[in-house]
Amino acid sequence: MFRDFLSRLRLKWFLARKSLDYSYDFTNLLYKTYLHHNKIIHYRDGHPVYSLMTPAIFSKPSANFVARALFRSIQNKNMPNLLSLAVNDVCNAACEHCSFFSAVEEKGRKNLTLEQIRKLLADSQDLGVSVINFVGGEPLMRRDFHKIVEAVDQDRATTILFTNGWFLEARAKELRQAGLDSIFVSIDAADAGKHDEFRRTHGLFDRAIRGAKQALKLGFSVGFSTTMTPESWQAGELQRIVELARQTGVHEVYVFDAMPSGRYQDRLDLVDNRQWIDEMIQWSGPLNRDSRYPGITFMAHMSSHCSVGCSCGTSYFYLSPYGDVMSCDFNHAKFGNALEEPLWKIWERLSTDPEFCSAKWGGCKVKDGESRSSSSICTGRTESTPTPLEVSKP
């Protein structure tokens, strides 16, 4: 009896001394695997953030994230933790690489109403979503966007806005009050002229940087979302953007390697071509160990066998501005419409499809020649240079 008491006391003493170190090591290892770095990039409202794409450590959404992972394994079932919700189908820019207009836009369809979005957000959160990306179009062209943010159960999910930055400076305060956590501002070149040319919108770079600075002042986690092509990587653009990010003070540079989808659907040079992407990831290593620099994360790392793999259909889905459910932003094959049948049924269909029922090692399905031949992958309409839906200077 006494020996048992002593043994338990010893265990408590051991845990008291070691559990802090263990939690520290576990967290570092978790992020190093997932992101390819374990640098804390920001303390948002007191909570450490490793990437805008994950809930802050020990926040309520991070508890939900972990709890859902447990249910997932108990039920031996795919359950989504990440949702990208396109809140509208209009944009003031007309970017060269846009995956959206050439493929999803179908003239005459109505965007989801606020009430419909509230319902779909609740349904998504009931399915397990704990990270919500707001995308578009340009989400801030929706006047009621702050009400969409308010509609999220923020105890269960972290929220991230992807914006081209045009309207950000004016609306950042309203978004902070609505409870938005993080903002990615698109920056594809460190030079204003080049960026505006790529996005075909004069003045966008200056407004994007002003918006990012305003968001930083208000306490958001802020990042640059950057699309790299093999050409821009070769030209040293990523190095310049990371330097700009350091000077601006943003917390993260999230790098999308250009996708052969939407307006780039005919860029077959991007298919089965990973060497330049691996070079970028390798290049980022020393900077990710340097605390003076923002975190540099790569979609291509996270979707590789070194992290969680391409996870659309296993833990991720995309909702179009019309309620269509797709596997991700870049695959425009539809699995159902959430206004016409329950979201969980559509998720069941998507997550049991042979192409999507398990994470794909080796990276992106949209970039994989073999996967692209499947009827479950569709990269856009046939026009190679479609006209943007709306190119206006507000």
DSSP string, 8-67: HHHHHHHHHHHHHHHHHHHHHHHHHHHHS-----EEETTEEES-TTSPPTTSHHHHHHHH
Q: Both tokens of residue 216?
A: 């930083």
Q: Which residues is 328 bridged to in the sheet?
A: 331
Judged by CB, which is closer to ligand SF4: 251, or 332?
A: 332
**For residues 217 and 295, what is the distance between their CA atoms, to the nearest angstrom?**
19
**For residues 283 and 240, what is the distance between their CA atoms, to the nearest angstrom?**
13
**For residues 393 and 91, what is the distance between their CA atoms, to the nearest angstrom?**
10
Q: Are 300 and 258 in contact (CB under 8 A)?
A: no
Q: Residue 84 is inside which H or E element, if any?
A: strand 82-86
Min dist CB 228 to ligand SF4, Å, is 14
Min dist CB 336 to ligand SF4, Å, is 18
Judged by CB, which is closer to ligand SF4: 78, or 154?
A: 78
Interface positions with ligand SF4 (CB under 6 A): 91, 93-95, 98, 100, 136-138, 164, 199, 303, 310, 312, 316, 328, 330-331, 364-366
Min dist CB 161 to ligand SF4, Å, is 12
110 exposure class (CB count in 10 Å sphere: 0-12, 13-18, 19+): exposed
Judged by CB, which is closer to ligand SF4: 137, or 380?
A: 137
Judged by CB, which is closer to ligand SF4: 176, or 195?
A: 195
Min dist CB 10 to ligand SF4, Å, is 48
Min dist CB 365 to ligand SF4, Å, is 4
The number of beta carbons lying within 10 Å of the beta carbon of residue 377 is 19
Judged by CB, which is closer to ligand SF4: 277, or 287?
A: 277
Judged by CB, which is closer to ligand SF4: 95, or 151?
A: 95
Min dist CB 311 to ligand SF4, Å, is 6
Q: Are 73 and 315 in contact (CB under 8 A)?
A: no
266 exposure class (CB count in 10 Å sphere: 0-12, 13-18, 19+): middle
Task: For the chain, count helices (H), then strands (E).
Answer: 13, 12
3-state secondary structure of 122: helix
Judged by CB, which is closer to ligand SF4: 59, or 229?
A: 229
Min dist CB 276 to ligand SF4, Å, is 16
**For residues 36 and 30, what is the distance between their CA atoms, to the nearest angstrom?**
10
Q: Are 351 and 132 in contact (CB under 8 A)?
A: no
Judged by CB, which is closer to ligand SF4: 66, or 391?
A: 391
Judged by CB, which is closer to ligand SF4: 182, or 304?
A: 304
**For residues 286 and 265, what is the distance between their CA atoms, to the nearest angstrom?**
33
Q: Are 103 and 331 in contact (CB under 8 A)?
A: no
Min dist CB 222 to ligand SF4, Å, is 17
Min dist CB 308 to ligand SF4, Å, is 10
